[in-house]
Amino acid sequence: MAFRFRRKIARSPQHIVPQLLRSQMKKKQPATIILSEPEEPIRAEVFSLERLEQHAESLAAAQIVTSEASRGRPLLPRVLENGRVLLDSYRAIGHAIQEKHAITPAAEWLVDNFHIVDEQLREIQDDLPVGYYRKLPKLASGHLEGYPRVYGVAWAFVAHTDSRFDPETLRRFVAAYQRVQPLTIGELWAVAITLRVVLVENLRRMAERIVRSRAARQEADTLADSLLGSGQQSAMLPALQRFEKAPLDRAFAVQLVQRLRDLDPKVRPVLLWLDQRLAAAGTSADEIVRAEHQQHGAMSVSVRNIITSMRSISAFDWQEFFESVSLVDEILRNDTHFAEIDFATRDDYRHVIEDLSRGSSHSEMEVAKRLVRHVQQALPDPREASRNGSKANQDRRTEPGYYLISRGRPAFERELGFQVSCKRWLLRRYLQAAVPGYLGTIAIVTAMILAVPLLHAHGAGMTVKGLLVLGLLAAVPASDLAIALINRAVVALLGPRRMPRMELRNGIPEDLRTIVVMPTLLTTAEEVTAHVGRLEVHYLANSDGDLRFALLSDWLDAPCETLP
């Protein structure tokens, strides 16, 4: 076989391995040769688009998920192991390049693009937190039992496309799957990360085969060199004894055939021995050479597809993909103003729907349908809307957010039978108390802080009068510390909350006509000119839609800002 030579590696391994693997490279180590039996690649019959959709439907009907959320079988340890195996493979191939040995095209693809593999490993570690992974529905049976259902979906897609990522093909595959069994919001967001995990898994299996095949060819070269160097037939057969009982590796046999065929007639006994071993296995030298060539060609295509898919996945707009396949989004877009709000607000609403579904016996789609029903019931009569114009649209109950994040949330939770956790119940009661609760908490925490020095002083024999003086002196710093602690705790418990926003992609419509007013004082002619200039800049920068700008001005009524 004609393999190309590479004289140097494009990047040093120390610069392109993830942080979790760098600790293995602190000491210089020789390249590791993987000799264990490699697992089969994730590769099956490549389907056409129509056949792929049929397979998605049958897969959805066959997959059974566990009834309750569970940790399942963790993916991250396997991902880290895959990273270590890929690093060992990279080293082994790099060692072969430095020794000026031939490498296959698949090995060349791996070496030249290892920085992309490193990027995938880091993104997997960042985007797959334990809490998120635990919430994903797990498979209850099959060879992927205990893994997330979406992982099985990604596995099937990769297997039947030969690791080739095409957005439209994936969209139709997921849509076909959901015609039988809907995926949750969390699962749809996990499609990208599970695709990365499966591609890394497949590349690891390819890399093991690449390195194992290279090691077998190297062993065959060593044997061929010794046989050709001895030139004595009596010494040849004993040299083959250690290969009598061991399984004959195809790469080893092919390399030996290519090295010894049509050369010194003295090595013919070796070729006869090899033909006998192959005949016993039901094959021949020509067949294994042809099969080895086909395998290397297929492996080169698969590794190329994996690397190209990794690059495409990183550059793809997954937000647009998610919203195009989400059944919850489809329900909300068709019957509410959901499509008019911006993406961040839509995402907040989806998180709430997930939360309501997990805390009740209703699926996410059922929650969305009930939400739509409430919105439609709140819509005004069309005849009344035509008489009142835009005023008919001012009822907040016609917006999904009213039932998800506003005053309609408690009643909506009761309708769904939502089970409020003890922590959330206490937090809600605390927020309802508002100012009294906040001030009361400050008082309690301040008293707890003061109790420490006061008890210590009392134990040391300080009088009651002295304790009162000490308490008064320490009250202010203790209250400051209490306020800082409470504010930090509130921020940690509540987190930031975004205000709902309209997207207004085509500008502000007429029914949302807006005027932006800039208050100012009329001091000098130069200042007035500057204000008008800034107003013009704002207008020119926001010319889309029904938006107006104005100055709210007044004359000076005092010589300075403050008067005695």
pLDDT interval class at 159 (50, 70, 90): very high
CA distances from residue 200 to 120, 170, 172 in whole angstroms, order as listed:
8, 18, 23
pLDDT for 385: 54
Question: pLDDT category, 91, cuts 50, 70, 90?
Answer: very high
pLDDT of 355-387, one tens digit each? 999 999 999 999 999 999 999 888 876 655 555
Q: Kindly report the number of other CB atoms within 10 A of residue 126's CB atom.
A: 9
For the chain, the average pLDDT equals: 85
- Which 3 state secondary structure label does DSSP give 361? coil
Going from N- to C-terminal start, the domains of the chain cover: 15-26+43-214, 217-315, 327-416, 435-494, 510-555
Residue appearing with tokens 């000119």: 529
pLDDT of residue 551: 87
Element (H, E) at 103: strand 102-103
Lowest mean pLDDT, pick from 71-85, 296-310, 320-334, 518-532: 518-532
280-319 confidence digits (pLDDT tens)? 888 888 898 899 899 889 999 999 999 999 999 999 999 9
pLDDT higher than 60, residue 18:
no
Q: How far apart are CA 349 and CA 338, in angstroms?
A: 9
Tokens representing 383?
A: 């005849």
Angle at 363 (CA atoms; ends 361, 369), nearest 5 degrees: 115
Residue 336: per-residue pLDDT:
80
Count the helix, strand and coil residues of the chain and give each as a percent rounded to the nearest 5.
65, 5, 30
| Strands 514-522, 102-103: pairing kind | unpaired
Residue 14 is encoded by which pair of tokens? 């120390």
Residue range 470-496: mean pLDDT, rounded? 87
Alpha carbon separation from 254 to 89, 103, 214, 301, 449 (Å, rounded): 22, 15, 12, 21, 80
Rounded alpha-carbon distances, angstroms, from residue 337 to 198, 416, 512: 37, 22, 14
Average pLDDT on 83-97 reads 93
Query: 397 near 371, Cβ under 8 Å?
Result: no
